[in-house]
Structures are given as C-alpha cells and as structure tokens.
Amino acid sequence: MTVNTDYLKEQRGQEWRVELRKKIKNKDRLTIERVKMPEMDPMERIKYQDKEVNLGLTLDAAMREASRCMDCANPTCIEGCPVSINIPKFVKNIERGEILDAASTLKETSALPAVCGRVCPQEKQCEARCFYVEKMKKDPVAIGYLERFAADYERESGSMSIPNVEDANGVKVATIGSGPAALSFAGDMVKLGYDVTVFEALHEIGGVLKYGIPEFRLPNSIVDVELDNLRKMGVKFETNFVVGRTASVEDLEEQGFKAFFVGSGAGLPRFMNIPGENYNGIMSSNEYLTRVNLMNAADDSYDTPVLKGKNVAVIGGGNTAMDSVRTAKRLGAERAMIIYRRSLEEMPARVEEVKHAMEEGIEFINLHNPVEYFANENGRVNKMKVQRMELGEPDASGRRRPVALDEYVELDVDLVVVAVGVSPNPLIPSCMPDLEVSRWGTIEVNEDKMQTSIPQLFAGGDIVRGGATVILAMGDGRKAAESMHGFLKEKYNL
C-alpha cells in the first residue's frame, strides 16, 4: 500500500499532537518498561476451549504504554503494516485518553481491528519497524496490544462508530469468500460507495476467522461484532452460496455485478502421503479445527462429533499446528505433542503461540518427522513411527534443511492432526477455464493491482499466496479495492 505522507504530516501537525509530544520528554518516555499482557493462568485456561488466554490491558496500562511512543516524524511502523494503519495517531489518541478516537483511526484503514489486535504477527510487522527496535535496541511499543485495547474499549463502550461511507454509486461488486481478504476488500469498497455483496460457501461469514482460529485466541463473538460493523456500512452477506456452482460468475454478471474479488482461501489441506495416513483418528487441522470452532463439536448439545484423544500428536510447526495442539489439550488430551521436523528456531508459528503452548504443557518433539501410522483392529490409529532428523544447510526458505537420520522412534497415539500446510482451493479456478493459475494452483495476479487474467476479476489472500497470514490477506484486499476502484472508474466513467 502507498502511504500518504502529506496526510500523515498534516495529522501529526495537529495541535493536540504537538502538545502531547511536549508533555513528556523523550528521554523519560524511553525509561518506561514495555507493558506485559495479562494472561489467564495456564493450568486454569486449559480447562476451557472458549476462554481467551490474553486478557487485555487496563486503561491505565494502555495509556502508559502509549506514552512510550515518540510520535516519530518518520513513522516507520506504518511501513510495516500491510494495511497502513496510522499507528502514531491511534497510539497518541490512547495516550491522551481519547480511546474512541483511537478506534476510529484504526477503522480508517482496517476493517477488522479487534481481530488484527489479536492475531497479527506484530513482532514481524509494525513492531519490528518501531523506533525502539530500529534505533534503540529496546522492546518496541506494544502496538498490537494497544490496537486490541482500542477496538475492545470501543466495542464495550456500546458506542461503535461507523466509518463514513461515500454516496452510493450504484455499482455492484462481489467477493467470493468471506475471510479476512474479502472482508477487508468489502470494507474499503463500501466506503467508496459501491454496492458490495459477500458470497460465502459455508453457513457462517468469516472464513478462517471462524472455522480456523480457536476461541481461546479469537472469540467468534468478536468477529461477529466486526461483521456487524460492515453490515451497518452497507455490505450484504450471502451464505450457503458457492460461486461457480450455485450460480456462475456469468450469472452474477447478468444480475449486474461489474467486478469480483476472489478471496476463497487456501482451503485444501495437505497430507504427507505416508502409509496408514487414512486410518481413523488421523485428520487435517482444517477438519479438526472446523469441527471444534465452526461446528462447536466440543459442546455436547451440538450434533457434530469430534474424536478425542489421550495421546494426541499434531504434525507441523505453524500457527495452525499450535491452535490444534492447544485445542487437543483443552479437549482433555493427557499428552498433546507437536511433531516438527526442524528445530524450535525454524518454527513458523508466532513466538507468543509457542510460548503459550509451552506454558500449557504441550510437548515439543522437534527434529522428528512421521513416516508411518499403525491402527488397532477397528482401524483407529494407535501408534506412529517417527524418524529423527538433523539440520543441514539452509534451503530456499533460508531455514536450515532437515536431513533424515536412520533412527526411528515409536509413539503411542490415538489422535493425529496433520497441520503441514494447505493448497489453494481448486473450486473457483476449476469453474473458470480462462483464469490463469500457477502450477501450484494459486491464482496469478498482477502484483501491483491484484488483477487476474480476467480483467474484472481481482484476487488476494491465500488463493494467491498459497498460505499466509490474516493481515497479509487484508492488505491484499485493500490493494485490490484500490485498483478495482481505478478500473471501474475508468470503465464506467464514475
């Protein structure tokens, strides 16, 4: 995203910001310690699948943390944000106690602030670019915690602001999918005056935010509030609608839709194709998390079942693996294990997730890779064979490549969750022969514009990236909205 520097400068020059900068000397700001996120006790929290681990900051703690921010003339943090949130402006609003203003600042560019404040890897984005890190070698301002604080404060205050929406231009556009990429796109387009409809195949809106990320990290009720906000802005939602099947893109064009954003996600789980992988009790993280998060399978009053295990192995080292293994622990596993073929250092999961998992008693069996599963007479998995690995030279990803050793270990397991990544969902590409896809099945886009080989079709998120984060998907959605707006303005003389 391009950052509008004139706008930032003008905002920074406002009197209240100037005053606030003078109020505390930078030298004194530097002496304040970074706030710690209050957390639920690990032994207590593993009893609940639906209680959040992070409890959120108090008003005092948030204002104090916000006062660490120097309100830099050149705010590099914004460059680290895929949706270009005006970070100093919202942080300074917290410092002066205008929390609702902080929340509306977030909503200028982010459709889902309460979500991002919880699941973004800030340590790799805005916070990694904070002055404290770049110039002072100190802990960054806790931008993520503050974002969550402002969004939560606004929600709990009962006076949610609805961002300004331009006059309706009567032009209909649609998203295919309703995850973070599509919602971010929808938010931006509706602000520009478009008539936006979100089409979702499942019975709930939200995509991975609902079916994937567990309640203890992102409660569905928080997602619902953000959805409600979009609804109030005028976004329409259609569930149980598979574009390409229920109706084709051509059918929708006949109904007046002028352009589309494909954000259908990377919804095809990968397996390892090793012997015994189809035994009962071995499932994808998508299946495990969908049953628990979307279908409420852990609650007996719901019809969807979920297999429970005493000895649960989760294969993989990403955030989804952490979500799965921590879910298994909460559903009563005595041993909940991560089996990962590299070492802790190479793990792609967020540092916070790994830390939380360790506090909860998750076992990390690193440098091991599954090679075979065994089952009892009913076909239910009861044992797995894992191979020891060591680290060799760095590979294309820059991480040290795991090299297999001729050493094996057997583990007793009765539930295995495979979280080794996802492939793009082939449903949309298979319905559109003219759509160019890569050999991995991701949709090819012109990167500056997120435009596909079909001019009125834009795409973003995991269907383009093949497996990334909520915030990168949201950044794609924003970028696509900006370029689709340009495309439609030119084509229809708006």
278, 334, 392, 494: residue in contact with other proteins (rule CB under 8 A): 278
Specify the residue for token string 């009892």: 376
462 lies in the site for other proteins, by CB under 8 A: no
Residues 6+ apart with CB under 8 A from 41: none
Which residue's CB is nearer to other proteins, number 370 or number 475?
Answer: 370
378, 393, 396, 493: residue in contact with other proteins (rule CB under 8 A): 378
Which residue's CB is nearer to other proteins, number 144 or number 179?
Answer: 179
Which residue's CB is nearer to other proteins, number 14 or number 255?
Answer: 255
374 lies in the site for other proteins, by CB under 8 A: no
Q: Shortest Cβ distance from residue 152 to other proteins (Å)?
A: 26
Residues facing 365 on adjacent strands:
339
DSSP 8-state assignment for residue 344: G
202 lies in the site for other proteins, by CB under 8 A: yes
**What span, in angstroms and rounded, lies between the C-alpha atoms of 165 and 158?**
21
What long-range pairs does 31-36 form, CB within 8 A, spacing at least 24? Answer: 32/64, 32/65, 32/67, 32/68, 33/139, 34/65, 34/68, 34/138, 34/139, 34/140, 34/141, 34/142, 35/61, 35/62, 35/64, 35/65, 35/142, 35/145
Q: Shortest Cβ distance from residue 266 to other proteins (Å)?
A: 10
Q: Among the residues of 268-350, which ranges form H helices?
A: 285-289, 319-330
382 lies in the site for other proteins, by CB under 8 A: no
Q: Shortest Cβ distance from residue 173 to other proteins (Å)?
A: 20
4, 157, 221, 304: residue in contact with other proteins (rule CB under 8 A): 304
Which residue's CB is nearer to other proteins, number 80 or number 267?
Answer: 267
Specify the residue for token string 């209680």: 51
Locate the DSSP E strands across 272-380: 282-284, 311-315, 335-340, 363-366, 368-375
Dihedral angle at the C-alpha atoms of 134, 136, 140, 143, nearest 10 degrees? -70
Q: Which stretch binds other proteins (CB under 8 A): 50-58, 287-295, 316-324, 394-402?
A: 287-295
Which residue's CB is nearer to other proteins, number 211 or number 364?
Answer: 211
Interface residues for other proteins in 420-449 (CB under 8 A)? Answer: 425-427
379 lies in the site for other proteins, by CB under 8 A: yes
DSSP 8-state assignment for residue 73: S
Q: Shortest Cβ distance from residue 472 to other proteins (Å)?
A: 20
Q: Shortest Cβ distance from residue 246 to other proteins (Å)?
A: 5
**What span, in angstroms and rounded, lies between the C-alpha atoms of 143 and 34?**
11
209 lies in the site for other proteins, by CB under 8 A: no
Two tokens, residue 108: 């200028």
Interface residues for other proteins in 224-243 (CB under 8 A)? Answer: 239-242
Which residue from 436, 384, 433, 429 is spatially nearest to 410, judged by alpha carbons? Answer: 384
38 lies in the site for other proteins, by CB under 8 A: no
Two tokens, residue 423: 């492939």
**What span, in angstroms and rounded, lies between the C-alpha atoms of 298 and 305?**
7
211 lies in the site for other proteins, by CB under 8 A: yes
DSSP 8-state assignment for residue 52: -
Q: Which stretch binds other proteins (CB under 8 A): 161-169, 227-235, 303-311, 328-336?
A: 303-311
One character per residue 306-345, x = contact with other proteins (rule: CB under 8 A): xx--------------------------------------
Q: Report the SS3 class of residue 404.
A: strand
Is the sign of the CA dihedral 36, 41, 43, 48 positive or negative?
negative
Which residue's CB is nearer to other proteins, number 264 or number 451?
Answer: 264
Distances (CA, A) of 459 to 270, 483, 489: 22, 11, 19
Which residue's CB is nearer to other proteins, number 42 or number 466?
Answer: 466
Q: How many residues bind other proteins (CB under 8 A)?
A: 43
109, 175, 178, 290: residue in contact with other proteins (rule CB under 8 A): 290
296, 324, 369, 452: residue in contact with other proteins (rule CB under 8 A): 296
Instruction: For the chain, give percent helix, strand, coil, nearest 5.
Output: 40, 20, 40
Which residue's CB is nearer to other proteins, number 117 or number 269?
Answer: 269
Q: Which stretch binds other proteins (CB under 8 A): 226-234, 266-274, 391-399, 405-413?
A: 266-274
Q: Shortest Cβ distance from residue 47 to other proteins (Å)?
A: 22
283 lies in the site for other proteins, by CB under 8 A: yes
Give the interface with other proteins as residue ranges (CB under 8 A).
201-203, 211, 239-242, 245-248, 267-269, 271, 273, 277-281, 283-284, 286-287, 290-291, 295-296, 300-307, 378-379, 425-427
